Amino acid sequence: MARLVGCVNTSHVPAIGKAIASGLQQEPYWKPFFDGFPPIRAWLDEVRPDVAVVVYNDHGLNFFLDKMPTFALGAAPQYRNADEGWGIPTLAPFAGEPELSWHLIDCLIDCEFDLTTCQEMLVDHAFTLPMKLLWPDGQAPATVPLCINTVQFPLPGARRVWALGEALGRAIRSWDSDARVVVIGSGGLSHQLDGQRAGFINKDFDQRFLRSLVEDPTWATRYSIRDLVELTGSQGVELLMWLAARATLGERVRLVHRNYHIPISNTAAATLALAVD
């Protein structure tokens, strides 16, 4: 059976992509954020995942407001990205792992999660930036994208997303393969990009949330979506991806590395890697 080695959660602010393209990683504004990745890359070199299941939210490249699935899973042989208007270079296509994709689709639908199945799928910066941050040399593993709606209400609740992550973890472990799998959660933490609270960051909540993923992982599931918007900002609900990724691992985890930096483009940027103990 497949081995689930751990998860990595990270922010995906588009400005990160421009910083990488412009070689600004050592600039004072960016250095505290990029310094969080070498320990995680070293861990990835040790566990050598064959597949990355990337839990992220689409920002209008593949899905738009007229068709916004709650959960969508890719089942393509490769995944392309495109110019989103942020000035981020378009990357080469990412290899898919259709065998795992169809196994996950069968298992998750059997667990009563209604998925949109995508045999073609464009992936935006929420997918490509974590892959570039974690494998900067381009030697990334095969991928399976799992998209969660955090853009248009109604959004799935934190408890529902936690349950999805648990089912996803069971499905990965039941895959008849000797592959090593890592789960990536892409988004957050607290930020609001528009409206009267534009620029809102809740450092206290973010720090509590980061600790909880190690010590009390279901802590955030006590909050409704409206509570989470109030506590983290309208875009801070992207922490749902972190919850789903964490839920795949089970109870016993080991902290590999944690990093938190504010602000980057009016956003609380964080990174957290956990290994299966």
Q: How many CB atoms lie within 10 A of CB 28?
A: 7
Catalytic, 191? Answer: yes
Residues 182, 140: Cα–Cα separation, whole Å:
12
Q: Which residues of the chain have pLDDT under 70?
A: none
Provide the pLDDT for residue 271: 97
- The one-letter amino acid at 55: V
pTM over 0.85: yes
Residues 100, 215: Cα–Cα separation, whole Å:
30
Number of compact structural domains in the chain: 1
- Residue ranges making up the domain that contains 184: 3-276
**Domain of residue 77, CATH code:** 3.40.830.10
> Which entry of 12, 59, 103, 125 is annotated as an active-site residue?
125
User: Measured in whole angstroms, how far is the alpha carbon of residue 264 from the centre of its chain?
Assistant: 18
Residues 6+ apart with CB under 8 A from 215: none
Sign of the Cα pseudo-torsion (132, 134, 139, 141, in order): negative
- The one-letter amino acid at 245: A
Residues 247, 196: Cα–Cα separation, whole Å:
33
Residues 126, 267: Cα–Cα separation, whole Å:
14
Q: Is the peptide bond before 263 cis (omega within 30 degrees of 0)?
A: yes
Q: How many CB atoms lie within 10 A of CB 48?
A: 10
> Which entry of 59, 191, 257, 261 is annotated as an active-site residue?
191
